[in-house]
Structure 1
Amino acid sequence: MTTANLHAPLGAVSVLRLVDGIMNFKTNLVEWNESRQTRKALSQLSAAQLEDIGVTRADIDKL
């Protein structure tokens, strides 16, 4: 019975970390942009409209 090589190829871990970093950056950028769009849309509503959905102007800044 032979044992498999349990070591990753040279540089594989570095590449994996780089790809993970890029994917995390992309995810964070998408989430930031969605929050920005939501804040922009909510800020255009009247106080009465915000009250109807249970949001205050102060809540908008927290998004």
Structure 2
Amino acid sequence: MATLDTTRDSFAARGMGARSHNVFAVLRAALIDWNDARKTRIALSALSDEMLDDLGLCRADIAGITGKTIRG
């Protein structure tokens, strides 16, 4: 799973360049979150019902975990 280092200083003191940097940082974080959810959805969907049950999940739980519905 990807991680995001939130301890770095921002570029807020640099004016206009800081705003564009923040926009790209937000877009990058959103892309990372989307990709993590996509990979999780694919991995969980590939498991059998018995394996999901071992994890305490059912197929309907996958959508709640990843925030997206699954099309059968």
Question: Could you say whether these structures have the same fold, taking a TM-score greater than 0.5 normalized by the shorter chain as the test?
Answer: yes
Residue in 2 that maps onto 1:35: 37
User: What value does the CA root-mean-square deviation take over the aligned residues?
Assistant: 1.2
- Which runs of structure 1 show a deviation greater than 3 angstroms over 4 or more consecutive aligned residues? none
**TM superposition score normalised by structure 1:** 0.76
**TM superposition score normalised by structure 2:** 0.67
Unaligned runs of 5+ in 1: 1-7
Task: Give the AA of the match of 1:48.
Answer: E
In structure 2, which of residues 2, 14, 17 is the aligned counterpart of residue 15 of structure 1?
A: 17
Output the CA distance in 1 between the equivalents of 2:58 and 2:38.
16
Tell me whether 12-21 or 26-35 shows the greater mean CA deviation: 12-21
Residue in 2 that maps onto 1:46: 48
Structure with larger Rg: 1
Output the CA distance in 2 between the equivalents of 1:28 and 1:52.
31
Unaligned runs of 5+ in 2: 1-12, 67-72
Output the CA distance in 2 between the equivalents of 1:17 and 1:29.
18
Alignment length (residue pairs): 53
- For residue 61 of structure 1, give the secondary structure of its aligned residue in structure 2: helix
